Chain A
Amino acid sequence: MMGTYREFRPWLLLLVRRRRRFLLGALLVWITLMAGLALLGLSGWFITASALTGIALSLGLPARLDVYVPGGGIRFFALARTVARYVERLYNHNTVLTLLADLRYRVFGYLTHFDDARLHGERASDWLSRLTADIDTLDNFYLRLLVPPLVALLGVVAVSLFVAIWLPGVAVLMALTLGVLWLVATLLAAVWGFSQSYQQVVDQQLLRRLVVDQVQASAELMSYQTAEWHRTLIASQERQAFSNSRRLGRKTALLNCVVSVVSGVMVVAVVWLASLVFSQQLVAGPILVMAALIALGANEAFITLPASFIKLGASHAAVQRLNELADVPTASKASATLPEGRGLDIQANQLSLRYAHTLGPALSKVEFYLPAGKRAVITGNSGAGKSSLASLLMGRLKATQGEAMVGGVPSLQLSTESRAHHFAMLTQQVDLFDASIAENLRIANPTASDVMLWEVLRAVAMDSWVEQLPKGLATAVGEKGHQLSGGQGRRLALARLMLGNPQVVILDEPFAGVDSATAKHIAASLDKWLINRTAIFFLHQVSSLKLLPGIEYHWHLDAGKLSQCPLK
């Protein structure tokens, strides 16, 4: 229990920052509940009082009943309930959305500290696929798990105190029953369903992996005629998941029944107790009816509790995963800076890299020196270690052994600002954002003028294409740049690079997906732009080697080992 609380704590603290919203929202829900109970109770009182007065009048006894005050009260509560419900829903929805912004802001903040191993590691698809769902789970926490129990508890207190004015015994009965019911519907439900609702999330994840396998291995499964075998794996996992869900669902149903039985029996008990008091003429008939009807309406506060609390385990799973993201190995105080306005050399000192959970190193003892302002090319197949080497040089990964130095400073010790200012890299997989061409370019330089944008577009031979687009620079590139072809996406990313003024440039496959005429144009632009900058090209195909201008060094990377190649 304490462990669970500790996991939730940082997120609850985030809620505490909005505590006024939270309390006001709960108050509004409480008012709605109270207005409903008051409406029912007052109506019952009024009817009974009317009936008794009517009988007295018909018997010729002197009797009077003020109909205006209760009548007005009934109308007021009817209206108050409607209005309070409307305001409450609106207000709480606003709170939930505000929290969503807070939560996303915080989680995004965690992710900004990730290094390349975590961003693109093998496990990345796992957390990414659940990220928004996990945040939503936490977001719902407020409306499902915090407000309702608070309101129910306050409701119990208010109702008991009110009834205690006339019927203290009945009030004690109500307070005790509803108090126990509150514990059952919250704590007991949470504990009872915890492991199963936790398992539900795990099951979903396992099933997801099996389905991903079926999709990715479809060729193998079909050719070896083992698709049926794999489907039985999925089926058995699904059966297991469903029997878990069934158990959880039945527990929920059972708790709902308990709430229904306890609150129902309580109403009967309240009437019974009150009638005993009534038969001793210690309380008036209308009061008895009012107490009974309030008891009848009180269960409204409890109906939704079990179903929400029984899923606490699922929320816990979500919180655990989000906490894992927060668990960033405290980034060493990287604060070194590089000198302005002079060329920077690159040196790899016996660089070795081994990823966690792999056999064999990704890079072993890579050693080279590239003087400032010179250009080099490193060739190698995919998987040879080019991306890893690039990440090490840019200080985005920590080497297992050895050190990457830029301008005489270990690049890992450079501050993020300094790295962003002096380094630029065209990554193997370019990231374009779901925004306009101009916005995608301005990521490199927010203050760049349109003239500058056109200039870099011309450098990658995309200016005439953008010009003929109806929206020009404002054209949206779509999610992951899907509105552009692969080659266009790379060229746009390259243009973006040219908006900055870095001293060290790494270009991973700058000509991929580009026809040879365009490649020549781009090579010429690069030649001009790269003057006085230190540059490394990473290439897969040796055939595009001859395109590269001004290359003075050529290394080849094979299975993590670097070797020198003769320049042709």
Chain B
Amino acid sequence: MVTEETLSLSPRSWLQTLARGERKRLLGSALCGVLAGSQTVVIVVGLAWLIDQLVIHDQSPMSLLPIFSLLVGCVLLRAAFQWGHETLSLEASLRIRQRARAQLLDKLSALGPVWLTSQHSGSLASQVVEHIDTLEGYFARFYPQLRITFCLPLLILAVAGWLDYLVALFLLLSAPLIPLFMALVGMGAERLNRDQFVAVSRLSAHFIDRVRGMTTLQLFGRTFAAQQDVWYATDEYRRLSMRTLRLAFLSSAVLEFFSSVAIAVVAMYVGFGLLGYIEYGPSSSLTLFSGLAVLLLAPEFFQPLRTLSQHYHDRAAALGAAESVVNILNQPSLVSGHRHLPPLSERSAIELTAACVAYPSRGQVIGPITLTIQKGEVVAISGISGSGKSTLLALLADFIAPSAGEYWRQVNSHYAWLDQQPCLLHGSLIDNLRLAAPDASREEMVAALQRAGFGALLTQLPEGLDTLIGERGVGLSGGQAQRLAIARVYLSNAPLVLLDEPTASLDQETEQFVMTALLELAQEGRTLVIATHHPAVIAVAHRHFAFEKGELVEVVS
């Protein structure tokens, strides 16, 4: 259950909470990264020593064979640590994404159908699928690399200090600059990435906007102009973004510059020192071994930071995605979490006492309503659109919790729902019927479909119950879909059926059929609550309530 504390989530804190769940793996990954880096240190120092022995001390290669094989061992060990580094962070990122997705899906359930219908389902799906996947780079690459960047340069500094303290001092002097540059690069890269992110999404939106309006463009014969417009918009964006990039890339050039200069400075210092041109400090004790080793260590000192800056866009992308996800997580939940108390009377199906419904943004919409519906009753609720009949139905269906008052219903009794646009799942007819009864047998399904007047269609379907319907399969008309929805009601055996405008936008034949089906359901002893403005539906109801000026009144015929 989502608690109130989630309301104050920020993108950063959400990412941190997610990381905490996989702390061990992420730390392990960083540790492996540091160990792999330390193997690199061993390898370059070893190479320097080997070369020193060969060139200066004229050792024969054969006598150095053990060292050669030791180096090969180090290379293999480094690869092993690299493997650990990559697979651990991969696993962490997979698990984190799984958890984040589950959290988001839980939240969507808690927000309930009332909130969901006000949203674009495609963009919600992007949040759950693409945006959560965007977190991959952050946890798999950036997060461990940040830890590595804190440790590995220190290790390299220590080794360099042992070899030649002047070089270490030079690196150390640049060390305070590193946080500075990191901030600089960070700010530069972050601003760049943020700006890019915004600009790119705006540009994509422009493109999609024109694609969506293709019908209109075709109707007015403006497709070619729009096509050129698309090119100019992208090109204009290119021109603008090049202007900012000129500056933004400077920060990464600074890092590049630093690592190149480090090599150059160390090379000059070591070279002159070995020639005896430098009189002070440790330079008199410089050898080819220590000189070569510090030369090779200097770029390694900056390498973690360079890698980090390459992964900076992962962070920006993750923050951008987190922001939109957190926006959803911070929405107040509408669906009530607690269970219902059974009604006071044995014979009633539903009891409402002074129940009100309020939306966070709009305040109280309906109520207080006091209403008792007996088992087996057919109740019609009418009213002009916007009067609150759909809200009342949503309240009865638990899509929204009462803001005040009480709602009693049989504990755990499931109920059937039917509205004017029955939902078709991407899948087979069976999947669509399982929606109402996951355990139903094929025979039961066929029987329910036949009762719902879908029998003739079923024989036409190429693969019977296994035929795919919807976007990827056979398209159903509105009337056919409504029959399928009625088959769901039959299949579910739910004692209570809630119907929201079930006959709206149907062809005459299906409308007639739905009417008969409603009567049949009532004869089975099911309780029906129907929001409708259809006179024929109202006529068959036992009781009729109407919303008049915000009040629910019973209409006595």
Contacts and interface: CB of A to CB of B under 8 A. Distances in A.
B218 A383 contact: no
Nearest to A424: B219
B217 interface: yes
Nearest to A561: B507
10 contacts: A42-B267, A51-B288, A86-B250, A101-B231, A215-B108, A218-B112, A223-B416, A225-B414, A257-B83, A278-B55
A256 interface: yes
Contacts of B2: none
A257 B79 contact: yes
B113 interface: yes
Interface size class of A (residues with CB under 8 A): 35 or more
Interface stretch (B346-354, B467-475, B539-547): B467-475
A382 to B, nearest CB: 5
Interface in B117-136: 119, 121-122, 124-126, 128-130, 133
Residue among A65, A74, A234 having the largest count of chain B Cβ atoms under 10 Å: A74
A39 B129 contact: no
Contact of A51 (B122, B128, B287, B509): B287
Interface in B51-76: 51, 54-56, 60-61, 64, 68, 71-72, 74-76
Interface in B204-219: 204-219
Contacts of B122: 125, 129, 212
Contact of A260 (B55, B75, B231): B75
B155 interface: no
Residue among A49, A51, A89, A419 having the largest count of chain B Cβ atoms under 10 Å: A51
Interface string A506-538: 000000000000000000000000000000000
A105 to B, nearest CB: 4
B205 A479 contact: yes
Contacts of A235: 102
Residue among B74, B212, B217, B287 having the largest count of chain A Cβ atoms under 10 Å: B212
Contacts of A85: 252-253, 256
Nearest to B52: A51
B464 to A, nearest CB: 13
Contacts of A421: 221
Contacts of A75: 264
A559 B422 CA distance: 18
Contacts of A252: 86
Contacts of B304: none
Interface in A235-254: 235, 238, 242, 245-246, 249-250, 252-254
Interface string A24-60: 0000000000001001101110111111111101100
A431 B105 CA distance: 32
B364 interface: no
Interface string A351-378: 0000101111010000000000000000
A234 B219 CA distance: 41
Contact of B423 (A65, A109, A220, A265): A220
Contact of A229 (B238, B263, B434): B434
B425 interface: yes
Given A46-B267, A97-B234, A358-B476, 7 more contacts: A42-B267, A44-B295, A74-B263, A97-B241, A112-B218, A128-B211, A219-B399
Contacts of B292: 44, 47-48, 289
Contacts of A65: 275
B244 to A, nearest CB: 11
B315 interface: no
B91 interface: yes
A108 B227 contact: yes
A98 B256 contact: no
Contacts of B68: 268, 271-272
The 7 closest A-B pairs by CB, nearest first: A420-B221, A264-B75, A431-B213, A43-B267, A223-B417, A383-B478, A101-B234
B124 A108 contact: no
Nearest to B65: A272
B344 interface: no
Given A90-B245, A101-B231, A218-B109, A433 B213 contact: yes
A279 to B, nearest CB: 6
Given A75-B264, A97-B237, A358-B474, A217 B435 contact: yes
Interface string A100-112: 1110110011011
Given A54-B275, A357-B475, A250 B87 contact: yes
Contact of B219 (A40, A54, A212, A425): A425
Interface size class of B (residues with CB under 8 A): 35 or more
Given A51-B287, A204-B129, A211-B125, A480 B212 contact: yes
Nearest to B234: A101
Contacts of B470: 122
A128 B113 contact: no
A310 B179 CA distance: 35
Interface stretch (A113-121, A154-162, A402-410, A451-459): A113-121
B206 A434 contact: yes
A479 B436 contact: no
A328 interface: no
A227 interface: yes
Given A123-B471, A220-B488, A39 B507 contact: no
B222 A246 contact: no
Interface string B384-422: 000000000000011100000000000000111101001
B72 A279 contact: no
A71 interface: yes
Contacts of A102: 231
A296 interface: yes
A264 B68 CA distance: 12
A383 B476 CA distance: 11
Contact of B119 (A133, A215, A268): A215
A54 B54 contact: no
B157 to A, nearest CB: 20
Given A46-B271, A359-B460, A223 B216 contact: no
A230 B260 contact: no
Contact of B477 (A268, A358, A430): A358
Nearest to B264: A78
B220 interface: yes
B414 A224 contact: yes
Given A57-B276, A79-B260, A288 B415 contact: no
A41 to B, nearest CB: 11
Interface string B504-516: 0111110000000
Given A89-B249, A108-B230, A257-B82, A431 B507 contact: no
Residue among B90, B218, B222, B492 having the largest count of chain A Cβ atoms under 10 Å: B218
Contacts of A446: 225
A524 to B, nearest CB: 25
B54 A105 contact: no
Contacts of B474: 357-359
